Structure 1
Amino acid sequence: MLTLHTAELLVAGPGSAPLAGGAVLVEGDRITRVGPYADLCAAHPHARVRRWPGLLTPGLLVRGADELLERTYYPDDPYEITELGADPIRGADALEALKLTEPRRGNSARRGTQRLLARGVVAVCGRFTSPAVRTAVVRSGLTVLPPAPYEGLPALDPFAGRDAAREAFHGILEPGAAARFAVFAVADEAQLLERGATTCVATVIGGRLLHRRR
C-alpha cells in the first residue's frame, strides 16, 4: 500500500532546503518519492494520506545507547514507581542494589526504547553485551550502529551537545531510501533545537508507524 506523509514543512536531510507543504511517498519499507504534496497527491490519488502538524525530518540518532539502555534502569510504571521513583536509575552501586535479572534488564531496555521512539529516534550507537537488552533493541526496530564519540553523559535527547538540529539527523529522505523519519510539532529547525525532541508527534521506521502522540 502507498502511504503519503505530509507536514507543514519538510527537511529531507542535513544539506536540504526546507520545503513548505512537502511530502514523502512510502511503499512498503521504502521511500518512492519526495516532493510537494500537491504533486505527489495528484500523481497517486489512491495513496493513503497521513497529515501531520509541524516539521517532517529524517529520524534522529542517539549516541551512547549502551549506557542509556544497558546501564540505566527505567522503573516500571506504575508497579515500581512508589518504591523506586519515576526517574531512570544509573550508577553501578544503584544498579547492583536492584539485583537485576536478564528479563528485568530486557524489560527496562524495552521501556527505554519506547522513550527513544517518542523522541523521533530511529538509530542508536552502542555495543550491547546483555542478550536481553540487545533483543529488546532489535525488536524495537531501531538501527544499531557502532559506538561513536560523545562528551559527558549520554542523554535520551538526540540534540544534547548539538549545535544544530540537523546534526542529529540519520540518513536522507530520498527515493529508494529506508522509510524512517519523524515529525515534530514545531515550526522549523531552530524551534526544534530550542524545544527539543519531546515535541515528536510521530516516528516511522521501515514504513511502520512505531510512535504516535496520543
Structure 2
Amino acid sequence: MLTIHTAELLVTGLTGPGSAPLPGGAVLVEGDRIARVGPYQELAAAYPHARARSWPGVLTPGLLVRGGDELLERTYYPDDPYEITELGAEPISGAEALAGLKMTEARWGNSARRGTQKLLARGVVALTGRITVPSVRTAVARSGLTILPPTPYEGPAGLNPFAGRDSAEQAFHGVLEPGAPARFAAFAVAGPAELFEQGPTSCVATVIGGRLLHRRR
C-alpha cells in the first residue's frame, strides 16, 4: 500500500543544493522504502489512491540515541500501573538499586520492551551500544529499532537523543530521499531549532520500515 506522510514542514536531513526545509512537504512510502519526496499537493495528485497521513509540525529523519546498552540493560523501567506505587514512575539505575530488584533475564526483557516504547515515543529509530542480554536483544528487534555499534561518546545515557549535541540535526539518523528506508518521525514543533529546544517528547508519530510504530493519542 502507498502512504503519503505530510507535515507543515519537511526536513530531509540532506545537505547541499535543494536541501532546504520544504513547507507542506511529504514523503511517499511504498513498503519499507521512500518512493518519492516533494510537495504534498504534487504527490497527492500523482497518487490519488494513496492513503494520506497528515501530522502537525515538522517531519524529519528519525533520531539516534546513544548508550543503548546502558538504557536497556542497566536501567529498569517500572511496569505502569502495577509497580508504580512501590517503585515510582522513574527509571531505576545503579548497581545497588538494581540488585534489590532481583532482576532476571525475563524481567530485563519486559523492562526493555517498555524502554523501547519510550524511545519510539521520542522519535527514536536507532540506538548505539553492545546489547548482550538475549531477551533485551529480542525486545529491541521486535520494536523495529536498529542497533548500531557503540560510539566513542562518553556522556550520560538517557532517553533524550539531543543530550550532548548542539542541534537536533546532529541526532538525525539517515535522510529522507527516494530509495531510503522509510524511517522518520513527526514532531509538533515549528522546526528543528524548536525541536531541539522543546525536546523529543514533542513527537507525535514514529515510522520504521514503513510502519507506524508510535502515534500520540
Give the shorter-chain TM-score range: over 0.9
Contact 1:14 1:167 in 2 (8 A): no
Q: Kindly indicate whether residue 199 of structure 2 is the aligned counterpart of residue 196 of structure 1.
A: yes
Question: What residue in structure 2 maps to residue 53 of structure 1?
Answer: 56
Q: Kindly indicate whether residue 82 of structure 2 is the aligned counterpart of residue 79 of structure 1.
A: yes
Report the count of equivalent residues. Answer: 214
Q: Kindly indicate whether residue 72 of structure 2 is the aligned counterpart of residue 69 of structure 1.
A: yes
User: How far 1:151 moved relative to its partner?
Assistant: 3.3
> Which residue of the other structure, out of 104, 112, 117, is the alignment partner of 1:114?
117
Work out the CA distance in 1 between the residues paired with 2:105 and 2:193: 41
Contact 1:14 1:166 in 2 (8 A): no
Work out the CA distance in 2 between the residues paired with 1:98 and 1:14: 45
Work out the CA distance in 1 between the residues paired with 2:41 and 2:139: 39
User: How far 1:194 moved relative to its partner?
Assistant: 0.4
Instruction: Look up the equivalent residue of 1:166 and give its one-letter code.
Output: E
RMSD of Structure 2 on Structure 1 (CA): 0.8
Question: What residue in structure 2 maps to residue 32 of structure 1?
Answer: 35
Contact 2:182 2:210 in 1 (8 A): yes
Instruction: Mark the runs of 5 or more structure 2 residues left unpaired by the alignment.
Output: none
Map Cα deviations across residues 107-141 of structure 1 (whole Å, 9 max, x no partner). Answer: 00000000000000000001011111111011100
Contact 1:119 1:200 in 2 (8 A): yes
User: How far 1:142 moved relative to its partner?
Assistant: 0.2
Contact 2:2 2:28 in 1 (8 A): yes
User: How far 1:149 moved relative to its partner?
Assistant: 2.1
Could you tell me the percent identity over the aligned residues? 78
Work out the CA distance in 2 between the residues paired with 1:80 and 1:155: 21
Report the secondary structure of 2:56's partner residue: coil
Work out the CA distance in 2 between the residues paired with 1:99 and 1:14: 46
User: How far 1:69 moved relative to its partner?
Assistant: 0.5
User: How far 1:93 moved relative to its partner?
Assistant: 1.1
Contact 1:69 1:133 in 2 (8 A): yes
User: How far 1:155 moved relative to its partner?
Assistant: 1.1
> Which residue of the other structure, out of 99, 102, 106, is the alignment partner of 1:103?
106
Instruction: Mark the runs of 5 or more structure 1 residues left unpaired by the alignment.
Output: none
Work out the CA distance in 2 between the residues paired with 1:131 and 1:46: 42
Q: Kindly indicate whether residue 50 of structure 2 is the aligned counterpart of residue 44 of structure 1.
A: no
Question: What residue in structure 2 maps to residue 11 of structure 1?
Answer: 11
Residues 19 and 110 of structure 1: is their aligned pair in 2 closer, same or farther, counting only changes over 3 Å? same
Work out the CA distance in 2 between the residues paired with 1:61 and 1:75: 23
Contact 1:63 1:149 in 2 (8 A): no
